Amino acid sequence: MTPLRQRFTEDMQLRGLAPTTQRSYTHYVADFAKFYHTSPEHLDLEAIRQYELYLLHEKRLSPQSINTFVSAVQFFYQVTLEMPWGKECFPRVRLAHKLPVVLSPEEVERFFRNVPSLKYRAALMTCYGAGLRNSETVGLEVSDIDSQRGLIRVREGKGGKDRYAMLSPRLLAVLRTYWRATRPQLFLFPSWRAGQHMSSGALQLACRDAARESGLHKRITPHTLRHSFATHLLENGTDTRVIQALLGHSRIDTTARYTQVAAQVVAGTPSPLDALALPAKRKK
């Protein structure tokens, strides 16, 4: 490892960036340097701009991926190299506003019936039953399940924040059945590699296979189950602030987008037109 990469890594660690974010940032900065066949410390803002256009038009990366690259180089130049370049020097690609894919309760039941493995079914039910992210689910330890208090401890969620998620009686029963059958030691959902947890990719693949077997024509990921969890809570009358805490959102407007996909809330909200004292329609 070069001294520059070492310092970059240490800067990310000191600022508490998640391990997945650190790996992502290192990957993007390394690819940026390889593209120009030189160390990134010798590149300037125009080089960043041209490479961003390359990612957009030649590599055809998604706006999210391009913006992750921008975040990586912004951190590298502003923090590690201490360049006096402001935020405006790192333009981002505009993201299209898309509503999250949400399953109906009937579709959720159909989906779970087609997850053949007890281990993957328990993990995916945790994504839906507690509203956890993929990475949060696979990283759970056995000791994180607090059956007495009805809580799941989420260690270092997004932004490195700990929080508690709900542990419903139904989910607890599922996890107990799974635990009795497999007796996991450290990680609740261990990998076949000793001392490691299940990978996020493995859970993604299991989710995709179950979606295909169920015949649902929606793109279903573990995050779809999290979206469905939040939407179904909202449709059942749960306060948005409570949902915000359960999901671990730092901003309420992130949670508020679920009001746009909660069909029962939309359909059940009275229109102001109905409150008007309009005269009855005259009969001809």
Instruction: Going residue by residue through the chain, which has 284 residues, state the pLDDT in tens, using 9 for 90 and above.
Output: 899 999 999 999 999 888 889 999 999 999 999 999 999 999 999 999 999 999 999 999 999 999 999 999 999 999 999 999 999 999 999 877 677 788 998 999 999 999 989 999 999 999 999 999 999 999 999 999 999 998 999 987 666 678 888 898 999 999 999 999 999 999 999 998 888 999 999 999 999 999 999 999 888 999 999 999 888 888 888 888 888 888 888 777 777 777 666 656 555 556 554 666 666 555 55
Residue 108, classified by CB atoms within 10 Å of its CB into exposed (0-12), middle (13-18) or buried (19+), is buried
Alpha helices in the chain (DSSP H): 3-14, 19-36, 45-57, 63-75, 105-112, 118-130, 134-138, 169-182, 200-214, 222-235, 240-247, 252-256, 263-268
Residue 145 pairs in a beta bridge with 152
Domains of the chain and any CATH numbers: 3-89 (1.10.150.130), 105-268 (1.10.443.10)
- Which residues have CB under 8 Å from 165's CB, separation 6+? 130, 131, 132, 151, 152, 154, 246, 248
Q: How many CA atoms lie within 13 A of 78 on its CB side?
A: 13
Residue 151 pairs in a beta bridge with 146, 166
Per-residue pLDDT reduced to its tens digit, 232-269: 888 888 888 888 888 888 777 777 777 666 656 555 55
- What is the length of the chain? 284
Per-residue pLDDT reduced to its tens digit, 142-159: 999 999 998 999 987 666
Q: Which token pair is 52?
A: 């961003």
How far apart are the C-alpha atoms of 277 and 58, rounded to whole Å? 60
Per-residue pLDDT reduced to its tens digit, 61-89: 999 999 999 999 999 999 999 999 999 99
Residues labelled as active-site residues: 133, 158, 223, 226, 249, 258
